[in-house]
Structure 1
């Protein structure tokens, strides 16, 4: 599906500070592990598409956040998809740099595990 067609289907439904957002799940394209979840608005999705690297909307800073600009942990998009309801996004990426997705220094933001 072409970008312009798919972006028309995406539902940016979560409103935070007057900005409509959709959750963006980021997964390693080769290893399959989930690296992080962040928020995107339509402009962040356009910027990601144009530059081929992950760009998010920071709810706390209220600005666009090009992943890796300060950390060096750039995420290059391999492919992306919207879920069946078009209200969540999944990005498969390859990381450049130290292979760290989380601001804590962990590879993945999902390191707080719970026993069964």
Structure 2
């Protein structure tokens, strides 16, 4: 079993200490809490981070719609937050989630269903039934 180091004196989290891009966004990688499978990458802003931490429902910022996007709100493919992590440079997030249904808008378990092998793209999985 893996040992996890926990700081003896936790520091209050302040989203303003993260490094956002020029649009005020930071990449967030969603990973399945049980399998470790990388499910998707999307963007968050400070408010999406706060909503995610407050509600336990992973909330992203949709660049195309310019609005908040609570994963599963319309599809039912919910991401329940299990753990929220910040990388060492503070410019990328990892959200460990309990995924219900597909994570990808193409109705696949993961957005990373295409591999490049021998110079050709290969689909690794079909959409979920």
The normalised TM-score by structure 1 is: 0.88
Q: Which has the larger radius of gyration?
A: 2
Structure 1: gaps (5+ residues): none
Q: In the alignment, does 2:54 pair up with 1:10?
A: no
Identify the structure with the greater helix proportion: 1
Which whole-Å CA distance do the structure 1 matches of 2:104 and 2:95 have between them? 16
Q: In the alignment, does 2:111 pair up with 1:109?
A: yes
The residue aligned with 2:97 is 93
State the Cα distance separating 1:53 from its structure 2 match. 1.0
* Correspondences of 1:14-53 after superposition (within 5 Å): 14-15=21-22, 19-53=23-57
Displacement over 3 Å in runs of 4+: none
State the Cα distance separating 1:6 from its structure 2 match. 4.8
Structure 2: gaps (5+ residues): 1-9, 119-129
The residue aligned with 1:57 is 61
The normalised TM-score by structure 2 is: 0.79
RMSD: 1.4
Structure number with higher relative contact order (C-alpha < 8 Å, ≥ 6 residues apart): 1
